[in-house]
Chains A and B, each alone.
Chain A
């Protein structure tokens, strides 16, 4: 298992190096002049361009710039925003916790409901129950996130006042930002402020989790039905096991395999930021940051974020694959 992990980590190096080259060239070879013009946009005057080119080292040969770039990356320097001058790493540490919390919330919603729904549908395929589950998941896939988000906010916050509609914490509580994880900060602040943090998470989690919910439901249903038709399930029944045990042990242990993969992929996507959900609920995460950075031509931030997302994606995939290998002896031993 350790060899497997080490091999995968080594395998990630060329991927990241390749990506760094592409990202580097992407910024240098932008159409409409050099990188300085791109950053300055309409405000570019020859003097400003020359000045930026010099301070950023854009006037150096490409390979010098590249090694310079890699050298800084290796020291953990991902550059700074042209807009507010803050280092990407600092801003990331402030914003990423919000995204992680939202991802966890969405996953709990999607997995917690999707798997039981999928199993239920698989147990009675083509029944009316299966039909209802299909409708729910089609709904989850097809309804635009912002429509779902605004509708829920309107109904549950504006009309019913059950849940807060925007933000991560009630500003009146004045909870100090220690970890930038709103739930953790609320717990640290005591006084049951955690309830406020959790209540802020409910609607965004549902909005963000609706697509993963649909995907997980479908894949669970398909996987359980697939496995149910396997010869070894018949063997298990022929032993005299109860249906319950055949289901929970012989079917589910195998049905989990594709489901884990899908959950992993969904997690990777969620961590890359939920642009729409964060916008609808004015959530302070990386999703909204990506959008504003692109709008502001803040290419250093965009470039670094893509690289960071790649690392997160590779890490999540590795965790998924380790989990998969743990569940599947055919991989574990080969």
Chain B
């Protein structure tokens, strides 16, 4: 399938339909530290279509940020190591690019918004300086044009009096304003993909909602693809089309928002849903997933969720399940969907129904 432009030639910049913009395959990122090797990301697969929006969810420490940093190749090597996998972006494997090729991708084609707006901007440079720095780097413009574009990009993210803001330093802005500035910086070079790593976690609840609205609106307007990382299912429910759930360095469930949130196929996802404060649960204690996130140095054999899973049986500790299609079309890494698990599935589905009831749809 080749797109033919009106001039008759094939446009090399055109995105081939059906080909994902980002395709992460079998990504493994390890950290070699004093006590041994942390397999922070150990076989992660997911893809994002051009203009698509994907939410990456999971508890703290499951490897979400490491996944994002691996895509950007921001992992410090050593102690880090990308031990395996491919990261296909727009027709190239990012892991095979030279450092200088990768620098063009960073900030130009893939931009990132970080969790901590208070510390993610350099305290000694003005907001304007920091935004135009990226613009100057990736566009053929002079300083004055870059400064103007910085003002425009601040205006686009709803910053009032942007002409004044560009001359201010980060400490003069509130957390919400700084995060808007970060988003402005990320979008200033019209990237094809924006990775937002917990962009609202550090903010007040009211500001969180505003920033999420803003991200959603900007995504819709610019058509940029979005990878939204969060530990909060409520955040992704409102913002993205598909969800990938991560646990102990692996994707354990992936599907559309409706599939994952309305009919979870993995006990871990169900556990996450159970811990959302729902309308009907107000006043009642939230149930949290029992047990703790496993020690990265001593991961259990077989399914990594097995020590915490209420449905686990012998098969689960014998070998690790693969990420396979579940009956509803989503993918799940769980033996409940294997023929041997059929007997236990009923109990799981009943429990899921109860969860959905209490979460309030």
Task: For the complex formed, measure the closest distance between the CB of B76 and the CB atoms of chain A, giving whole angstroms.
Answer: 9
Task: For the complex formed, measure the closest distance between the CB of B220 and the CB atoms of chain A, giving whole angstroms.
Answer: 24
Q: Is B108 an interface residue (CB 8 A)?
A: yes
- Using known A-B contacts A239-B107, A241-B103, A242-B103, determine if residue A232 contacts B134 with beta carbons closer than 8 Å: no
Query: What is the interface residue range for chain B against chain A?
Result: 20 to 34
A236 CA to B107 CA, complexed, in Å: 9
Chain B: CB-nearest residue to A232: B122
Residues in A whose Cβ lies below 8 Å from that of B72: 238
Residues 227-254 of A contacting B (Cβ, < 8 Å): 230-232, 234-242, 250, 253-254
Is the CB–CB distance between B122 and A235 below 8 Å? yes
Is the CB–CB distance between B123 and A240 below 8 Å? no
Is the CB–CB distance between A232 and B104 below 8 Å? no
Is the CB–CB distance between A238 and B106 below 8 Å? yes
Task: For the complex formed, measure the closest distance between the CB of B23 and the CB atoms of chain A, giving whole angstroms.
Answer: 21
Q: Is A85 an interface residue (CB 8 A)?
A: no
Is the CB–CB distance between A241 and B133 below 8 Å? yes
Is the CB–CB distance between B74 and A254 below 8 Å? no
Task: For the complex formed, measure the closest distance between the CB of A248 and the CB atoms of chain B, giving whole angstroms.
Answer: 13
Partner of A241, one of B123, B137, B182: B137
Is the CB–CB distance between B111 and A238 below 8 Å? yes
A329 CA to B129 CA, complexed, in Å: 14
Chain B: CB-nearest residue to A242: B103
Residues in B whose Cβ lies below 8 Å from that of A172: none
Render B161-200 as a binary contact track against A, CB cut-off 8 A, 1 for contact. 0000000010110000000001001000000000000000
Is the CB–CB distance between B169 and A329 below 8 Å? yes
Is the CB–CB distance between B169 and A333 below 8 Å? yes
A230 CA to B119 CA, complexed, in Å: 7
Residues in A whose Cβ lies below 8 Å from that of B308: none
A232 CA to B124 CA, complexed, in Å: 10
Residues 318-334 of A contacting B (Cβ, < 8 Å): 327-330, 333
A239 CA to B182 CA, complexed, in Å: 11
A22 CA to B113 CA, complexed, in Å: 58
Residues in A whose Cβ lies below 8 Å from that of B124: 253-254, 327-329
Residues 277-334 of A contacting B (Cβ, < 8 Å): 327-330, 333
Q: Is B112 an interface residue (CB 8 A)?
A: yes
A254 CA to B125 CA, complexed, in Å: 10
Complex A-B: 9 CB contacts under 8 Å: A230-B119, A235-B120, A235-B122, A238-B106, A238-B107, A239-B107, A240-B105, A241-B133, A253-B122
Q: Please report A residues at the B interface, Cβ cutoff 8 Å.
A: 230-232, 234-242, 250, 253-254, 327-330, 333
Q: Told that A253-B122, A329-B124 touch, could you supply 13 new A-B pairs with CB distance under 8 A?
A: A234-B74, A234-B120, A238-B72, A238-B111, A240-B103, A240-B137, A242-B103, A253-B124, A254-B124, A327-B124, A329-B123, A329-B169, A333-B172
